Homo-oligomer: A and B are copies of this chain.
Amino acid sequence: MSYTIKDVARLADVSIATVSRVLNRSKPVSPEVREKVMKVVDELGYNPNPVARTLIMKESTLIGVLIPDVANTFISMFVRGIEKELIQHGYTTLLCNTNGDTDVELHYLNLLRDKYVDGVILLTSAPKPEQIEFFNKNDVPVIFSSHTDKDGRFSSINIDDYQATYDAAKYLIELGHRSIAFFCGPMDYYQTVRRYDGYKQALADHGITARPEWVFDKDYNLDSGYKSGMELFARVQEDHPTAVCCVSDMIAIGAIRAAEDNGLRVPEDVSVMGFDDIPIAGAYRPKITTVRQPVYELGSGSAQMLLKQIREKGTGSCESRVLPHGIIERESCRALTD
């Protein structure tokens, strides 16, 4: 059993209000009394019950983090960035895996609000209607990560998805490729749409018409990349693209394996471009050329922005940060010289 504020008050021979005051510096207290109280606090190793505090203050030093799936390296690194930043400011991370499911997200959002979380970080691509409604009526600080909000209704932090994919495709094109497949995520993710747009625009800007049968929208994981690759390389054995542009490194690895299983060498026969730059990208064989996302900065940046928003609560100011991406040239893409 822990001590309560009453124990401290009794032992220090003051009222509980005074104890509360010295602990929260909410009202001036005479040095002598403060000294006396602190002494008892230290001796007892007393610390205020955060639950009771939450009940009154409607603050919990808890931050909800909604993500599709921790068991995805990019995401777990992102979470790491968040957590590291939060803990330094005395906040604790409430982790919620949503699988990208809107109902699950909404369920968690309600749960988190009921637990009086001080804020929420959402990795869910675009704000969905249900979420907009939720945040409109609930007024809990939120950062949308991996999303850039044009409308400025919500704060967000992200790279420029459109530009990043544009750059990736352009890189491939400048290497001489003209038939480029696209392995992306589910098309109902706004992020996917943005990236797809970037890819298409890069092709268009170079006079290349995109071939719909060469875009595969599955998941972000290795398996999806492999499956897409098997479909692509199996069905167009003689007429396959010379490059594939992927929206995650794990997809790229799956694609490479699929190519190899179809007798194609990477990068000799087909170039494969990754995305994210997770640690394995630089250690795979071939080392994967990829679009780097500053994942830790994205994570810690989300946390910082959220904390700032919590501090400035009420002003309702919105901020939108776009972090730089970059092409990391390695071995999985080669120049076409014919």
Residues 86-126 of A at the B interface (beta carbon under 8 Å): 87, 92-97, 110-111, 113-116
- Tell yes or no: A257 within 8 A of B by CB: yes
- Tell yes or no: A15 within 8 A of B by CB: no
- Tell yes or no: A254 within 8 A of B by CB: yes
Distance between Cα atoms of A77 and B72 in the complex (Å): 8
**For residue A110, which residues in chain B have a CB less than 8 angstroms away from its CB?**
47
Closest Cβ of chain B to A323, distance in Å, is 18
Closest Cβ of chain B to A331, distance in Å, is 12
Checking B54, B75, B283 against A257 with a beta-carbon cut-off of 8 angstroms, the contacting residue is B283
Would you give the 0/1 interface string for A263-285, flagging 1 where the beta carbon is closer than 8 Å to chain B?
A: 00000000000000001100111
Secondary structure class of chain A's binding surface, majority of residues = helix
Residue of B nearest to A93 (CB): B95
- Tell yes or no: A253 within 8 A of B by CB: yes
B84/A76 in contact, CB under 8 A: no
Would you give the 0/1 interface string for A195-237, flagging 1 where the beta carbon is closer than 8 Å to chain B?
A: 0000000000000000000000000011100100000000000
Closest Cβ of chain B to A81, distance in Å, is 9
Distance between Cα atoms of A79 and B97 in the complex (Å): 10
Distance between Cα atoms of A76 and B250 in the complex (Å): 16
Closest Cβ of chain B to A164, distance in Å, is 22
Checking B70, B72, B114, B283 against A49 with a beta-carbon cut-off of 8 angstroms, the contacting residue is B114
Closest Cβ of chain B to A183, distance in Å, is 15
- Tell yes or no: A80 within 8 A of B by CB: yes
Checking B49, B114, B222, B257 against A2 with a beta-carbon cut-off of 8 angstroms, the contacting residue is B114
B55/A83 in contact, CB under 8 A: no
Q: A70-B79, A279-B222, A280-B253 are in contact. Are A111 and B92 (CB under 8 A)?
A: yes
Q: Can you list 24 A-B contacts (CB < 8 A)?
A: A2-B113, A49-B55, A51-B55, A51-B60, A51-B114, A55-B55, A70-B70, A70-B80, A70-B83, A71-B77, A73-B73, A79-B95, A83-B95, A84-B97, A87-B97, A92-B96, A94-B94, A94-B95, A95-B95, A221-B279, A222-B279, A253-B283, A280-B280, A285-B285
